[in-house]
Amino acid sequence: MAYREPVGMIQSIGVPWLKQSPAHHHWLRSHIIRSVCIVWKSLTGPGLLLALAGSMVAGQAPQGVQSFVTKQCVGCHNAKLKQGNLDLTSLPFEPAKPDNLNIWAKIHDRVRDGEMPPVASPSLTKFTRDSFLTSLSAPLVAADHARFASTGRAVIRRMNRQEYENTLRDLLGAPWLQIQDMLPEDGIAYKF
């Protein structure tokens, strides 16, 4: 069977190196598709997730969260009583900030586990609780995914003096190297 020139976009471009075997055209198509996917991912990856998380959290909680907090939580967690050292009347909804995300995640978990609200009110039904959890979890998960997409899961950490000395020994091929005493003391955080 004789090789036929492709009809369509590739032939109409008129570039001689494109007029090759069908295997080459398959390879070219797969690379074009892969390139388009990479560009699409770079345009919609972490940036889109951060934009979505940011648009959902302009300081205001979603409507389902606001109504639940107003009806069920503000009676105890307000500026005057501040039970559990939590004032929900002044707490902004900014899950893009890690500290704020942790507070709202703790609120979500307490309501999910039935710890809050502690007094069973007649207006609190399973449907009300589930709709609150659903409306709260969506922006929290989006912000968490955006954070992981932009920074990764691993936290950047500094080597201690012994690790730094051993790394230099390995890199320089100098097992006799001793610089540990010349480096500043290692800091202690969380007993490590």
What is the pLDDT at residue 56?
Answer: 44
- Give tens-digit pLDDT for 77-86: 989 988 889 9
pLDDT of the residue at 155: 67
Q: What is the pLDDT of residues 93-135, one digit of tens each?
A: 999 898 999 999 999 999 999 888 887 777 788 999 999 999 9
Cis peptide before 6 (omega within 30 of 0): no
How far, CA to CA in Å, does 117 sit from each of 65, 93, 114, 142? 14, 19, 7, 25
* Whether the model pTM is above 0.75: no
Judge contact between 47 and 56, C-beta under 8 A. Answer: no
| Weakest-pLDDT range from 59-68, 106-115, 160-169 | 59-68
User: What is the C-alpha to C-alpha distance for residues 102 and 108, in angstroms, rounded to an integer?
Assistant: 10
Residue 106 CB neighbour total at 10 angstroms: 13
Q: In whole angstroms, what is the distance from residue 6 CA to residue 108 CA? A: 58
Task: Examine the pLDDT at 158 and tell me if it is beyond 50.
Answer: yes
Please give the mean pLDDT across all residues of the chain: 76
Q: How far apart are CA 183 and CA 169, in angstroms?
A: 15
**146, 150, 155, 157 alpha-carbon torsion, rounded to 10°:** -160
